[in-house]
Amino acid sequence: MDIETLQKRQRWTLEQKIDHAVATVESYIARTGKTPYVSFSGGKDSTVLLDLVRRFVSKDIKGVFCNTGNEFPEIVRFARSTPNVTVIHPKQTVKAVLATYGFPLISKEQAHGIRQARTTKSDKLRKIRLYGTDRNKGYISGKISDKWQFLINAPFMVSEQCCECLKKRPFKQYQKETGEVPIIGTLATESEARKQQYVRRGGCNSFREGHLGSYPLSIWTDADIWAYLRKFNVPYCELYNKGAVRTGCMFCGFGAHLEKPTSSRFAMLYDLHPKAYEVFMRYENNGITYREALRAVGVVLPDEYRQLNLFQDYE
Ligand code: SF4
């Protein structure tokens, strides 16, 4: 498997991709011999996935939704109104996770490196995070970007552990208790990391011990998702009709520094759910609020620029 094969498959028609997704799930079920469930976030991708497996594979396949405590109310309503969806919860609250591990800022990869550089007892690992490896071979890997290295010594912690506590552990626990295996609606177009995962897995299914998983939408694009929703007239979360581009965790800071203040996730949250926005901005790590941490990485928050009447500067 290589990137060229992935790109070739991404150019297939919607019909070819539906056939491929169905075959992927059928072979996953046959080879694992286990009961599958769809990891259902309430977003458009997993909405397509749930419909696809129920329409073409088996109408009884269950959805599992993890209510992390920072889901949009619209998403929770939509998940609860979808038939045969089990709701699970993390053991810790969002507030406790952020206070203990730090804020999810910049990106998963950078936050992971920053946490390690800050907490590791290994000199070797710290050096890799600061300087990277294989510099003599002409490339650097594992290095935290120079721009974000100041966060290693910031008065608050940055970490990717939020996802581990709020999402991954509840699903692992669910799988342990039920013996069921996941079908997941991620797309390779989401990020470079997802593309590399597709290549490393060797396609849409993973049969590796401890990493069983089916990713039948890997080769789909956003346009395919919308085309499928329209083709089969599938109901989706109302949030998309309120201007949402993403429906993930309300307060997630990953990638927030790249967004325009007038159309950012925080602007949307502030408009739709101002009370929740205020609560999140007051969450703390080491006595520093989320608001202060977001400012430190260059995020311009909607209530601040609106108060200062700076619209024209950011349009
Ligand atoms: S997506 Fe962001 S906010 Fe949600 S659990 Fe993961 S790190 Fe936390």
Cα 69 → chain centroid:
15
Tell me, in angstroms, the distance from the centre of ligand 1 to residue 253's CA: 8
Measured CA to CA, the distance from residue 139 to residue 131 in angstroms comes to 11
Tell me, in angstroms, the distance from the centre of ligand 1 to residue 180's CA: 24
Return the ligand 1 atom nearest residue 97 CA. 8
Mean pLDDT by 10 residues, the chain (315 residues): 93 98 98 97 98 98 97 97 98 97 96 95 92 67 92 97 96 97 96 91 92 96 98 97 88 94 90 95 98 96 76 52
Return the ligand 1 atom nearest residue 108 CA. 7
Residues within a 6 A CB radius of ligand 1:
68, 70, 104, 162-163, 166-167, 248-249, 252, 254
Distances (CA, A) of 269 to 7, 125, 260, 273, 277: 35, 38, 14, 5, 6
Contact 18, 196 (CB under 8 A): no
| pLDDT of the residue at 137 | 58
| pLDDT of the residue at 223 | 97
Determine which residue's CA is closest to atom 4 belonging to ligand 1.
Answer: 249
Return the ligand 1 atom nearest residue 165 CA. 5
| pLDDT of the residue at 196 | 92
Q: Which domains does the chain have, with CATH numbers?
A: 3-92+162-242 (3.40.50.620), 105-158 (no CATH), 250-310 (no CATH)
Tell me, in angstroms, the distance from the centre of ligand 1 to residue 58's CA: 31
Retrieve residue 214's tokens. 């089916």
Return the ligand 1 atom nearest residue 254 CA. 2
Tell me, in angstroms, the distance from the centre of ligand 1 to residue 162's CA: 6
Concatenated DSSP letters for 76-87? HHHHHHSTTEEE
Contact 118, 154 (CB under 8 A): no
Contact 66, 171 (CB under 8 A): yes
Q: pTM to 2 decimals?
A: 0.91
| pLDDT of the residue at 309 | 58
Return the ligand 1 atom nearest residue 166 CA. 5
Tell me, in angstroms, the distance from the centre of ligand 1 to residue 254's CA: 8
Return the ligand 1 atom nearest residue 68 CA. 5
Measured CA to CA, the distance from residue 44 to residue 229 in angstroms comes to 8
Tell me, in angstroms, the distance from the centre of ligand 1 to residue 312's CA: 31
Tell me, in angstroms, the distance from the centre of ligand 1 to residue 160's CA: 8
Determine which residue's CA is closest to atom 5 belonging to ligand 1.
Answer: 163
| pLDDT of the residue at 138 | 56
| pLDDT of the residue at 253 | 96
